[in-house]
Amino acid sequence: MSNNILKDIAIIMDGNGRWATKRGLNRTKGHEVGAEVIRDITMYCAKHETIQSATFYAFSTENWKRPKLEVEFLMKMLDRYLKNELETYQKYDIKFQAIGNLNEFSKNLQKRIIDTQNATQNNTKLTQILALNYGGRAEIVNSVNTLIDMGKKEITVEDISSNLQTPYSDIDLLIRTSGEERVSNFLLWQISYSEFYFSDTLWPDFTTDELEMIIENYKNRKRRFGGV
């Protein structure tokens, strides 16, 4: 029997809008409840004895296609979330990091993100990573272009890995909620040998109990990494 050690976990948080619609609520209510779930899951990961990083797919490069009012709400909610969470990050020794192209956000939101990163940069218990205006293909392209600018003539796997935005090169476990079974341009390089788990639960209903069950499932899988 396997007993895999979980260090780096990533979650595609899907189903906020459908959760709200099923209840006759505005889609924004689903995002509000979903943000509370991020807090719960982050706290669980911070207390877990082996988890080092938790990466949440918060806003993809494709999410700009959503209705303008919804996008504006998400931007305000992100700013409010980071403002409110700073005390929690410091109290529980959590480092915050954002990945993605932040240049398309407002100057005020960019400042909030950078200030939060700077304020928590020395925390060591857990790194919480929010993927914001993020796309996996773009991250790989940016890594390669950085290496070209450095004068690299031949590029290795290690070169690309070390120039990604994430502080790790491999994800152990990728979870997607809401019953959808695709990766949606998320951490394409880092999930090469990840274990996947697709949950039917809509993100606002996702709990630490379900996460614990998924982790137990992960521990007992046989990870071959291309071998026998």
Encode 29-98 in three state secondary structure: HHHHHHHHHHHHHHHHHHHCCCCCEEEEEEEEHHHHHCCHHHHHHHHHHHHHHHHHHHHHHHHCCEEEEE
DSSP state letter for 5: P
CA distance 196 to 166: 19
Cα–Cα distance list, 195 to 38, 112, 207 (Å): 21, 33, 20
The DSSP-derived string for 157-188 is: HHHHHHTSSSS-S--SEEEE-TT----TTSST
Which of 4, 26, 63, 185 is catalytic? The answer is 63
DSSP H or E run through 227: none
Instruction: Say if CB 117 and CB 97 are below 8 A apart.
Output: yes
Q: Please say if 14 is a catalytic residue.
A: yes
Q: Please say if 8 is a catalytic residue.
A: no
Which of 8, 14, 16, 123 is catalytic? The answer is 14
User: Active-site residues: which are they?
Assistant: 14, 63
